[in-house]
Amino acid sequence: MSASLLRTIARGPANSFFRAYRPVAAPSRAGAFVPGLMAGSSLNFSTSVARRSDAHEETFEEFTARYEKEFDGVQDVFELQRNLNNAFAYDLVPSPSVVVAALKAARRVNDYPTAVRIFEGIKAKVENKGQYEQYLDELKPLREELGVLLKEDLYPEEAK
C-alpha cells in the first residue's frame, strides 16, 4: 500500500476527492488589502509570542529552585532530556544542585548515556577548564556513588 493512499485513508471521509477551487479576488487599488499581513492572522510567518516589557525576570536562585523541582519530578527519559535541553539553553551554567538533581533523575529513569552527557554539557557551558574542574571536584562523590564516568574516561584517545 502506498504512503499517499494511507494518508488519504487516514484523513477520513471527505465531501469530494479533490479540493474545491476558490479564486482569490484581486485587491482594489484604493486600499490594497493583503490578508496574510493582518495582526493576529494565522497566515503570518512568525510564530513567536509577543513579549511584554513588564515581565518578571527570573533570578539565578529562582532558576535553580525551578529546575531542581523539575528534575525531582522526572519520570521518563523524554522528560529528563527535555528539561536538560531547557536548562542548558539559558546563557548560564546550571548550579551544582541542579546537576545533582539531573544526575539523580538520570539514575531514576536508568539513562546512563544522558548522565555522561550532562558532564559534556557542563564542559561546553563553562568559560574555562578551571571551572569545569571545580564542578568535577564538587560532584565527584555523587559521580562515584552512581558510577558515572566522564567521556574523557570512556574515550581517553579522543581527550588528547
User: Domains of the chain, with CATH numbers?
Assistant: 60-159 (1.25.40.40)
- Report CA-CA distances (Å) from 33 to 42, 43, 90, 147: 16, 14, 41, 65
Is the confidence at residue 10, as pLDDT, over 80?
no
pLDDT in tens, 22-55: 455 555 555 444 444 445 444 444 444 444 555 6
- pTM for the model stands at 0.64
